[in-house]
């Protein structure tokens, strides 16, 4: 039941300028004062939400992944955010989960934003990634995934799998969404983040960028941390911000035990 300390970085991104973004983000990471365990960056943090993967894609041994590895090892943190990756002839909007020992996992964005033609340039992922840190299980997702609740839905354990009435058996404790979510649809962002927390009885963290991108689309940020009751623990709009928060597992378990709605959930199988 160890607490978990997480730092979110809400920042403007320099459009399609990888070196400038990495330099800027390195300075921000180095400026974090309280001890932290996980640092969360926005979606496509090295380029902005670019539809030019042929120009900016890297391999998993490329510059940005190596930068993430160096930062994670040096700062002794888990570092995460999504970047553009090429594998064989496919491009992915890939969230990298970089550990302090240089090992990593990754999640490829499942739901591609056809409204901005993302589906014409990238390949959809086929599986979720649920990471484990200090007894916490963390579901990692990207931006547009937020609109599809089935992809985030908890699968409660069956009664036969639960040792006692006091035991809570759920897939994960926290969802992290990294995003480039525009201000013109920000009400949906805020509403759906709260909904994911309430319906899955988990913490939710949403990390969005701020500022105008190369298409002159404005992003207000509105990064948040929400508890399992749907209450906002942190929120920042329209400016860059670095925020560190500690989540307490005992608080999560107390809510789940007091309101065991998760036990009434439907059994389902997710078909891909």
Residues designated as active site: 43, 109, 143
Alpha carbons 21 and 83: distance in angstroms, whole number: 12
Closest-CA residue to 14 (of 269, 210, 265): 210
What is the widest separation between alpha-carbon atoms in the chain? 55
- How far is residue 102's CA from residue 182's CA, in Å, rounded to a whole number? 33
Contact 218, 237 (CB under 8 A): no
Q: Is 257 left (phi over 0), alpha (psi -120 to 50) or beta?
A: alpha
Beta bridge partners of 242: 9
């Amino acid at each position: 039941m160890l607490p978990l300390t997480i730092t979110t970085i809400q920042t403007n991104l320099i459009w399609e300028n990888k070196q400038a973004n990495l330099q800027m983000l390195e300075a921000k990471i180095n400026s974090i004062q309280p001890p932290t365990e996980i640092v969360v960056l926005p979606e496509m943090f090295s380029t902005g939400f670019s539809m030019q993967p042929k120009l900016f894609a890297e391999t998993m041994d490329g510059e940005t992944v190596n930068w993430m590895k160096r930062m994670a090892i040096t700062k002794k943190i888990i570092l995460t955010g999504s970047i553009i990756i090429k594998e064989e002839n496919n491009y992915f909007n890939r969230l990298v989960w970089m550990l302090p020992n240089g090992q990593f996992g990754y999640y490829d964005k499942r739901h591609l934003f056809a409204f901005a033609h993302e589906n014409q340039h990238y390949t959809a992922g086929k599986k979720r990634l649920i990471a484990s840190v200090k007894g916490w299980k963390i579901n990692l997702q990207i931006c547009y995934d937020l609109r599809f609740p089935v992809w985030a839905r908890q699968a409660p354990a069956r009664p036969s799998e639960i040792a006692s009435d006091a035991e809570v058996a759920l897939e994960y404790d926290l969802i992290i969404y990294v995003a480039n979510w525009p201000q013109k649809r920000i009400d949906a962002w805020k509403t759906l983040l709260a909904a994911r927390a309430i319906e899955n009885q988990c913490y939710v963290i949403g990390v969005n960028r701020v500022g105008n991108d190369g298409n002159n689309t404005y992003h207000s940020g509105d990064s948040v941390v929400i508890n399992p009751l749907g209450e906002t623990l942190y929120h920042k709009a329209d400016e860059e911000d670095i925020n560190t928060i500690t989540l307490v597992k005992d608080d999560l378990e107390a809510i789940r035990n007091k309101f065991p709605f998760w036990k009434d959930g439907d059994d389902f199988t997710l078909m891909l």
